[in-house]
Structure 1
């Protein structure tokens, strides 16, 4: 057993439920690798876990994403070896720790041109952007796209990548500062959702044609108005619930608003197949090499400050990606 520092949740609650403490880490089991984290990705799903919206057996260590160095491997592991630089996103919890054991199949080698911080920020957000833009609704040149919360970590990647694919991008944001960030990320138009009617502005920017797709990671606060931004047969893609989950609604609403499509995909469904997971990671790495997306806007904070990071995240004070460093 090795003693490591970690963030644990003993009972769901507010950010102060995140407790920085010692935990015992056993050697990796069969099919597992042990990695020493250099950077740990922070994502809104971590808030859902901590608050109990997405329940997990207590006590637990939150975190689904990270990057670091392999320091030990269990029986039967051939995919990675000690000393490899790796990154991962995985459905299993355990990321908010100095080191962890993880299924070796979840690890991908980190290219030399990417830092550990970029590796940690690349996985969950980058793969989310990949499946949203290339699998859920395949963006093509000329598509009109609305990205809710376009200055966030996933939001910026969606703006960058959709723009590189030739789409016209509209992004909603919460401040003038965030509007500048979204525009730098490739948004053709920005909407200050606190001050402006985003449906009316979307109609104005598209000259009444509306959008082919809406990517919505906000949830309750933007639904059902997001549907009014779609042209007939357009697609509403809900991939997060930063403002709270969308309540049950009459499916007839989709018919009334123009025979719309609506979906709530999950990254973990996509990456359950190892080959698909590796293909998606390859697509993200290729997009980074081409310059279609970038991972420059990363804020690194100490692991011990996880509770403060969650406070800032929930208050929508953050932009871009955040990583924790042990």
Structure 2
């Protein structure tokens, strides 16, 4: 058996670079991907490490788990029945089987030296159905895009799909709580869809970045301003929580027009899972989107916007570190010194 390096969460608060994770063994319809970079998700990855992600309980294998869902790499080998994936192609979201081996489980498992994608088209041609696919969430990206830039591609598509799912169209008035990488990219895609965005955060530097990068029309620094006073009674069609807090959902509801929508996009923590609907404003709705929906359906459109120069992946990450510095990456994210960190696997 061959082994590879990977970032594994051994238990709450215990994350480390290990070197005893079994290297994937290809099945007939699978392709082996050498992973070069993986985005560190400020929300999901951090909560898996800390053991605080309540809504993640149904999706996360028990510890120890190989981390990472924003991986990007190059196909280096293919199974004997693979026909539509080729050596040299670049793919995002390489995956591992739930039982990785040697005691490890996986949380997608892209923070490793190798992962796999599956030739689902060939499987359909050979009589299999979609329920037989090992993985569905995967996508090829252009050779012209660097692996580091591709480490933020999934996040961009998730924000793009969220703007679509929340119903943002021409003229929609949008209020966004949070101006991290997801908040900024959501603001950008809402603007590209014709929405008018107001954004709230406690860090002025990030609000300034959002104006510059996403074209956010109006910002409020909630550490220095009273939000109600700053809004001056303005009401919105959609108000979206990126932070992950039921208190924000209640506050956001107060700022909606009749029939407006609260969007819950931030992952709720395990001590903050119950939504008291009596605290939501009457004649408003709650749209739960704590997990991405339809992000791969908009991936080609997201790539087209990148290629057209309307979206620049480099705007949405601030640090690039080797996998071995996972602790430094965590500290940068927790201290808000990093917008987003991309981790690179070095031989």
Shorter-chain TM-score tier? 0.7 to 0.9
CA contact (8 A) 1:217 1:242 kept: no
Tell me, in whole angstroms, the C-alpha distance in 1 between the residues paired with 2:250 and 2:332: 26
Question: Structure 1 residue 171 and structure 2 residue 199: aligned?
Answer: yes
**Counterpart for residue 280 of structure 1:** 298
1:183 CA displacement:
0.8
1:131 CA displacement:
1.7
Deviations 1:63-84 (A, max 9, x none): 1121110112234323312211
**Counterpart for residue 274 of structure 1:** none
Tell me, in whole angstroms, the C-alpha distance in 2 between the residues paired with 1:268 and 1:77: 28
Change (3 A) 1:127 1:173: same
**Counterpart for residue 223 of structure 1:** 249
Tell me, in whole angstroms, the C-alpha distance in 1 between the residues paired with 2:292 and 2:208: 32
Change (3 A) 1:230 1:243: farther
Equivalenced residues, count: 307
1:145 CA displacement:
0.9
Between stretches 179-188 and 309-318, larger displacement belongs to: 309-318
Tell me, in whole angstroms, the C-alpha distance in 2 between the residues paired with 1:60 and 1:117: 23
Structure whose residues are more often helix by fraction: 1
CA contact (8 A) 2:66 2:107 kept: no
CA contact (8 A) 2:4 2:22 kept: yes
Relative to the length of structure 1, the TM-score reads 0.85
CA contact (8 A) 1:161 1:292 kept: no
Deviations 1:230-273 (A, max 9, x none): 2211111111137776442332333xx241111212545536xx
SS at match of 1:10: strand
Deviations 1:163-205 (A, max 9, x none): 222221111122221121011121111111222222432x22x
CA contact (8 A) 1:218 1:243 kept: no
**Counterpart for residue 267 of structure 2:** 241
SS at match of 1:178: helix
Question: Structure 1 residue 96 and structure 2 residue 114: aligned?
Answer: no
Question: Structure 1 residue 324 and structure 2 residue 343: aligned?
Answer: yes
Relative to the length of structure 2, the TM-score reads 0.81
Change (3 A) 1:69 1:89: closer
CA contact (8 A) 2:158 2:292 kept: no
Tell me, in whole angstroms, the C-alpha distance in 2 between the residues paired with 1:168 and 1:308: 36
Change (3 A) 1:173 1:282: same
**Counterpart for residue 33 of structure 2:** 35
Deviations 1:35-85 (A, max 9, x none): 111110111211122222234222211111211101122343233122112
Question: Structure 1 residue 209 and structure 2 residue 240: aligned?
Answer: no
2:333 pairs with one of 291, 307, 313: 313
Question: Structure 1 residue 67 and structure 2 residue 72: aligned?
Answer: yes
Tell me, in whole angstroms, the C-alpha distance in 1 between the residues paired with 2:79 and 2:271: 39
Change (3 A) 1:133 1:188: same
Tell me, in whole angstroms, the C-alpha distance in 2 between the residues paired with 1:323 and 1:137: 28
SS at match of 2:86: coil
Structure 1 stretches lacking a partner, 5+ long: 272-276
Change (3 A) 1:244 1:209: farther
Tell me, in whole angstroms, the C-alpha distance in 2 between the residues paired with 1:269 and 1:161: 15
1:324 CA displacement:
0.4
SS at match of 2:151: helix
Deviations 1:83-129 (A, max 9, x none): 11222376952111122234455432211332111212111x12211
User: RMSD of aligned C-alpha atoms?
Assistant: 2.3
**Counterpart for residue 148 of structure 1:** 177
